[in-house]
Every structure is written in structure tokens, then in C-alpha cells.
Structure 1
Amino acid sequence: MPERAGLADGGGRGECEELTGYPARAVESGDVVWGEEVIHPDDRERTWEAVQSALEADESFEVTYRVRTADGEVRWMWERGRGVAGTEGDPAALEGFITDITARRQREAELERTNTLLSTLFDALPVGVVAENSDRDVITANSRLFELFDLPGEPADAAGRDWPALAEMLADRAADPEGFVAGVEELAAAREPADDELTLADGRVVRRIHRPIEFADGDGHLWVYQDVTDSREYRRDLQRFETILETTGDPVYTLDAEGRFTYVNDTLLETTGYGTDELLGEHVSVVMDDGDIERAKADIRAMLSEEATGVRSRWTSTRRRTNSSPVSSTSPCSRSTRSSAGRSASSGTSRSASNARSASTGFATARGS
């Protein structure tokens, strides 16, 4: 590579030393060989080839490469230059401008890392996501969207496509295709946040979330689709269970790991004379004496040690405190069950298994003293 006839950072030759630690005159004279002592070893070959190609074509060149400064620091440089012809017409030296772009390259590297992280997280989301720009073109979509709606192709295939057309493909999986497409258009036109549920043709229920978003170059829309079939069925079952608890003739309660009430039904309130606000968060000892508690714990420990399913036991409180008067009571419904995986679940005053602390559920039927 020809020697450098001049080096600057757009402002003056003195900046060569500031950038590289080498005086400009040392580089220009060849005392410091730029291509062998300054340019990073991993960048020398490609930089050489780029410069030589430009010189042979009698053109200027632009190259980006790393350098090792005089004190060993690695920095990024952008260089623009041209050959200086010698007495015989061949390039005898190079002259041009060199700019330190280390900070810019660091920002680019950080941005690339961030984009890679976001892309990985985006594709790993358990919900289907698609974003569109102001022209209604798809910017990006993730794998879960394609899985959820059983779409052909890959998420990358969706980028740049017309979102309304893609929405019609999604609508083919909906129980009401026309309603699906109409909903997309109405929400996009309104540009208001929305959250609703859709039923698919196969019976699954999908939650649809729409959010208008602002890009630097215009408006856009973000669409999120989540399969909520299982959670909806769970809520339905929970509602049924709560209905049963409220209509049963037995007092029912649940306790946390500390033995404090987290749920009480109306029958228990009537039995004890307390209000809901008075019991929730309070320790079970408010309505049960120490003897009752210890007997209940012993019963539950015994049940948890059983291998059989559906074991029942009975415990009787000799004295239950209420806001009005003492009441004797019996709890006939403490139960232990063992799952196929070998874990035990129990209902009762307290629960303990393998030194683990957990919540418990109790059922009690009061009887007059």
C-alpha cells in the first residue's frame, strides 16, 4: 500500500496523533507503516483489497476498519482518500481524511444487541402479535400468531404484506369471519384501545387486544391474540365452585400458610357471628381454640400420610368462640386426596407435607351446644 501523503480528521494533521497515538509525519514518512502497524490485523486484508481496487481504477475509496493505537486501544475509523500519482504516473502515496467513528460503532453494536434481544423475546411470546404501519402493511408478526391461527408459511413471509388481506386469512379460522374482518376495520378506524374476545370455528376462544401506536414516520396499530380457552373454562368452573360454596349448608373457609382466613362463606359467618371483613386476614384461632386446631392438624397429617384417595376424618371442636356465645361444632368433611403424580392435597384447618407450608380449606357443620 502506498505511503500516506496526508492525514487528517477533517480539521488538521495534528489530529492523527490524537486518533492513533502516532504523529502524522511518522505515518507520512513511512516510519510507522499504516497497513502493518496501525490497521487491526483482522481488517488488513480486506482494507488492502478495497484500496488497491480503487487505485487501479483511478477512483477514490471509502473504507471502515479498526486500528490499534500506539497504547494498544482498538478504535474504529472511517477513511476516504485517493491516490497521489508519482513521477511515472503510478500512485506513490495516499491522501485523504480519517474520522474516528468508535462511538457510532458502539451505538450500532448496542442497537444490534437490543434488536436481537427484542426479536428473540418477540418470537418467544406466548401470544400472537402483528404490527402494521400507516399504509396498513405488516411490519412484523411472530410465530405464535401463525401457530394460533394455523397459518401457512413463516412469520417473515408476512412482513410487507397488506394487513387487511392477512386479517381475512385469520378470519377464515373464526366462527364469524365477516364479523372478524369488520372488527379489525372498525378498531383501526377508531384508533382506540380495545380488548374483546372472539370465538374460532374450532370452538377455541381468543382474546384480541388492539393498541394504536405512534412511529417516527407515522401511525400504526398493534394487534395481540391470546388463546384464553382454558382460562375461560377455569373461570366458569370457579364460578360454579363458588356458587356451590355459597349455597351449601356447611360453613366453608380457606386459610393461607399462616392459618389466616382468605375465604369464608355465608354459612360460616352465620355460624360464628362475624362479618366478612372481621374474619378475612384474621387467624383461625379467632373462632377455634388451640385444642381444636391441634386436633385438626393431626387429622390432616394423618390423611396426608394415607395412600388411598378420598380418605375422610372427623374432628369436633369442644368450644367455638363467636361474637354471641360459645358453640360446639363438628367438621365432618376434612378430606385428603392423592393425585396420580403422588402429591397430596388436603382440606382442613391446616396443612403440612414434607415440611412445606401451604394454604388449606376447611368445612365445618355447627351443631347446637
Structure 2
Amino acid sequence: MDDSGGTIRVLHVDDDADLADLTATYLRRENDRIAVETAENADEALGRLDEGVDCVVADYDMPGRSGIELLEAVRADHPDLPFILYTGKGSEEIASEAISAGVTDYLQKEGGTSQYAVLANRIVNAVEAVRSEQLLARRTHRLERLIDNLPGMVYRCRNEPDWPMETVEGEVEELTGYDADALERGDVVWGADILHPADRDEMWERVQASIADRGTFEVNYRIRTREGETRWMWERGRGVYENDELVAIEGFITDVSERERREKRLEQTTARLEALFEQSPDMINVHDAEGTIDEPNARLCEKLGYDREELIGTKVWEIDCSIDSESAAEIWARMEPGDSRRFEGEYERADGSTFPVEVHIRRIEADDEPLYAVISRDITERRQRERELERVREEHEELINGMNDTVWVINTDAEFLAVNDAAVERLGYSREELLGMGPRDINPETDPDEIAALIEGMPEDGTQVFETVHETKDGERIPVEISSSLIRYRGETVILSVGRDISARKERERRLERFASIVSHDLRNPLNVASGRLELAAEECNSEHLGHVADAHERMNALIDTLLDLAREGELAIDPAPVAVADVAESAWTTVATDDAELRIAVEGTIVADRSRLTQLFENLFRNAVEHGGPGVTVTVADIDGGFAVTDDGPGIPESERDSVFETGYTTGEGTGFGLSIVGQVAEAHGWSVRLVAGEDGGARFEFTGVEEP
């Protein structure tokens, strides 16, 4: 085994001494570079970090400090020390917390000994990565000191029409898109592959004329980068002579195309602005300090019913009947260059009819003369919606008061404007007391700045949903789910919030988390020790009983995995997205022990589903078909109207039992009885209907309908 990297000193922290000892044994077997020392808790581990540790491997659930707390303490003094969280208590929350704390890697304990090969590989990779980074940093520092001050590239080339490069240094790839090695090897030739074809002859002639008198030369020319971009270069160089013979050209090249780009961007920006001005869906005009319209756009002319020539020279108060010359002049006088104002007005058409507008005016400077750009939008429909919302508010105010959930109206200053009867009853304050309060007074766990950010970030359309805790007048804390949306209330935009008590849901989540913790940590560790010891025993003796023990261990692992899956289904979360059914089915088939079974795919297209959950559904159906279908069973995944079906040609399921198969614990053999229960829960979480019928060949056929397509 390659030992060029030297010994890797690992500190394994686990409160289970037997498991820690077993892990050390297998790590040394996997890689003889690994030397393992153990510690039973975080405090012991911290006291030994200065003894020359290359990597820390730690469990999560330990007495005293947890694995995450140990990680945070290690990061405080050893920010670059590899740290691998190796735990039986796995969850997305723990993984997210570990990543936030700076964990190097995260690995969940599993059954069997194959996990130790994975762990050994993760340890070696993490340590070698750190060592490589340290070596690279030293080399890079030396190189950076040489080329830090080069705003381009230096070169040495032969004096030939193709300018073949012998040496290049500096910002070679930034300038050309090619790395320095490609130029030095001759894979890329400066004159043939980079220098713009239209500039090659002139470049050659000018350089030759300069070096003929042993002078220096300065030239500007274009290049084409690897990506096909054209850039302008400035180059200064001179000839290199040995015994009066020209042997090379040396010089410096830098990019000067930014000036060219700025000029082109200015031209393009001007053209775009002109196009936006004329094609904008909003009404736009530019007027001077006297209120005279100089530039009306096409939309303004169309909405008002005037020709462009008719509007030029018109005063703004002649089209906006909500202002007069004096009030307009007062507004403009208070505006500095760059200032903007927003207000609502009323425009009058050529036929005398009017419509409401929202007006944005901004002062700009042009040739030392103040000009005012005005962008206006017809808000007739918005006014109608506001009137309708006000009507709806009045009609539904009594209905809101009859809701069981707490409801309140909040202004943008985070103050309650109205509360319903349920809020008064649930929080224990009188209505008068609540109307003098705000969200910050009943959300003790939420920072006031966070409340302000939530209010400021409210979407104009849609609902914002989040969880928080409400504290009653008596000090009771109630977990709630808040659904908030913007509405019009008494003429102003406010926030309508509905708070739903989720105490029962939180309690279920806590019970499920505790259950998963017991299964993953308290059961998995001793089972791993037993499995490891069994393999060691098998190396020392041969007994027919050992195989039965191994089968029992495998069965226990499967049971633990299934129990964990079922526990997590209690809070089944899905993240639907378009997925190809055939791809997911084929991938799931590879994860199941299928023996001589055969999978047939007769499904096309995509559906909207959570890929992970759909994979779980297929795995359980395939496993059920293989376990109960007998040798050589064939499983088919096919399209049906409104969804897809999974069919096998096994013995099938009696009609009298088909209503029971999706119940937790149902089994006809030695299974756990959870597989088809999980299938039913995955379908329900997606909003699908699932039906079990007999297949054409007499086997079981599971039909899923109500499936959404992208």
C-alpha cells in the first residue's frame, strides 16, 4: 500500500467503547497508514488535540457535549482540522447543523463492515486534501510574489510570422482563454490561433521595421480568445540578440479593449434607451422646468388620443387635471438632481374623459438645464380591485370573527389594527389591550428586526407561511403556523395574518424524532458491534450457526431501516418537480435484491413528483413483487390513463385481502408489513389515488391515478 503520504493520526470520539474499538480495528485493516486513538467524550477529545491529530471522527449523541458542540469547539482553535461526523442518529436537521458548523464530512453508521471502507476513504481524502492545500499555498505564494504586479503577460517568442512562444508568464489565460502550457508546447500558436487574421500582416511589418534598428516597438492589434471573443491588445517589445544575431523577441502584452467596449456600450445603451422609451407599455414624457413637454412617447400619445406633434409644447397640467402650475412648480423646486417623487393623478384625454394614474417623476440634468422624466401608469383596474377588496372586507369581517384560528390585521409599522374573537380568547388579552400591541409583543422568540424584515418582504401576490411561538398573557407558549398576505383595509395596504395552533403537530414530531433516535442510535450501535464481532468470529472458526446469526443481523437491519422510513413518513415532506418515470423506476430496480427477476419498462414522459419519494415507492413495490412473486417474476411499469401502473406476474393478492395491504403491519409472510403502507403514504402525500387489482396474468397490479404532468 502506498505510504507516501505518511501516517494519518485519527482521534475517534464515541461513548460506546466496544464500537470505537471495532471501528479502530477495521480502519487499520482498510489502510495501514491510519493510526487510531479513542476518546469517550468531547472534553477528553479536546484535551488531546495538541498531541498531533490529523483528523477527528466523532459520534453525534454523546454524554455531555454532542458531536456538533465538539465540532464548534474544535473549529474555534483548529479551523482547518478535518472533522468527520460519524453517527447513527442521522437527519437532515443534524446534517444541516453540522454543515453550518463547518464539518468536513458527514457519514451515517450502517449495518455490516463495508461502511468502514467508506469511512477510511473519507478520512484519507480529507487529510490529503488539507496537506495538498498547505503545499499548494506555499508554492502559490512564491509564484504570486513574482507575477502580482503584472497587469498582463510577459513572453519570449521566436521572430517568425506565427510568433511561436517559448515562455509566457502572467495573466495568459485571462487574456486569451488558453493556458500558458498550451502556448509553450506549441499546441496553440500565437500568430496562427490567437492573433486576428486581419491584423497579422500589419503586425509583422511594424515589428520587423522596429527591430531592424534594434529598437523597441509598440503596437495595437486584435486577438481572438479561445471562446471566440475579439479583444484589443497593446504590446511593447524588443529583440534579443546573441553575438549580434537576433534569437528571440521579448515583450509585454496587456488588454486595452475596455475603452473600445465602453464606447460601444454607450452607443448600445443609447439605442436601447430610445427603444425602451418608444416601446414602453408605460406613458412617458420629458418636460422642462416650465412644465413644457419636450418628448412624449408613443404610449402617452395613444392613451391620451393626441398626435406626438400636438403634445410637444403642451403644459403638463393641461393633461393632468389633478395639479396646477403653482403646485407643480413647488414640487419641482424642492427636487435635487436624482430625486424622485411618486403621487397619484388624473389624466384627461383629448375627448374630455379622464382616468386615474400613478405618476413617478425624477429630476435629471442635461446641459446644465433641469429636466423632469415622468413615467405614468393607468391604475383604473387597480382602483376597481381596491374597491372590490374593500367590499369583500366589509362582507367577510363578521365571517373572520367566527373563525377558530386567530386572525389579525397588521399595518406596516407592525401594529395590530384589528383582531378577531379567537385571538382575544386564545391570547388572554382584551381587544383593547391587543389593539395597543403588535406581533413583537406576542412573539417572544422572534427578533423585532426579523419581524420588520418579514413585513417588508411580504409578496404583493400570494401568501407568506412561517412558524413561530405565541405567548399568552399568562405566559403560556403556543406554537403556531402563520399565513400572511397583503390586503386593502380601510383604504391602506395592510397584512392579514391567520395563526393556527400546531401544538399537536409539534408533539407528534417530537415523538417521531425520539422514536427515530432510539432506533438509529440505541439499536444500531449494538447491532453494528454484533455484526462486526460476528465477522471476526467467522475468521477464527467455522460453524453452521454463524450463517443463521448473519441472516438475523441482516433482517434486524432491514427492520430498523423500515421503522426509520415509517417514522419519517409521519411528517412526510415532498418537493415535487418534473421527473422521468422510466429513469426513476430503473434506478430503484438497481437498489433491490432482484435475483432472477426481470423489469420491463413500458412508460414514457414525465410527471410531477418528489424524485426521492417516487424512488421509495418503486423500491417497496419491487421488493414486494420479488419476495412474494417467486423465482423469475417479471415486473412491468406502464402508462395508464391519468397515471401509471406497476404489475407483476406472480401469484397475486386475494381479493379479500386487497383492502388491507396498505395498512401498517399487514404481511402474508416474514415481511415487516411496512412496505406497502409506505407506498400508500407516498401516494397520499402526492394527492394520488392507488388501487390494487389483479393483473392480466393473475399477479398483483397497483394503479396510481390523479398524477399531474408538467
Greater fraction helix: 2
Same fold? TM cut 0.5: no
User: TM-score with structure 1 length normalisation?
Assistant: 0.40
User: TM-score with structure 2 length normalisation?
Assistant: 0.23
Greater fraction strand: 1
